Amino acid sequence: MISRTVTISDPLGIHARTAALLAGAAEQFESSLWLSCRGERASLTNQLKVLALGARQGDEVLVLADGLDETEALDAIADRLTHPVEPFGG
């Protein structure tokens, strides 16, 4: 298992669209992926639990990956969290 601390950069924090994109990204890997924020942890494939973490812009979160492709998986998720997506129509 490996982990990395990243800072949420999206001004809206982790919102519904971000949670959906994270889940989609997590499902592309064989490794299990989790997000930890303020002592709570959620599987990145569970959008509702990820939203329930309430991660906001500037929060430091811990991304954990465990499996055969854990390095690639961790890099992909960390990139999503530190590079917010453009809003719809933007």
At residue 64, what is the residue type?
Answer: L
CA atoms within 13 A on the CB side of 21: 16
Q: Which of 8, 9, 13, 15 is the catalytic position? A: 15
Task: Give the β-pairing of 32-37 and 60-66.
Answer: antiparallel
Strand, helix or coil at 49? helix
Q: Mean pLDDT, the chain, as a whole number?
A: 92
Query: pLDDT band at residue 89, thresholds of 50, 70 and 90?
Result: very low
Q: What percent of the chain has pLDDT over 70?
A: 93
Looking at the chain, how many residues does it have?
Answer: 90
Is the predicted pLDDT of residue 87 greater than 60, yes or no?
no
Domain annotation for the chain: domains and CATH numbers? 2-82 (3.30.1340.10)
Q: What local confidence, expressed as pLDDT, does residue 44 receive?
A: 97
pLDDT in tens, 51-84: 999 999 999 999 999 999 999 999 999 999 988 7
Q: Average of pLDDT values for 32-53?
A: 96
pTM above 0.85, yes or no: yes
Distance CA 65, CA 59 (A): 19
Residue 83 appears among annotated catalytic residues:
no
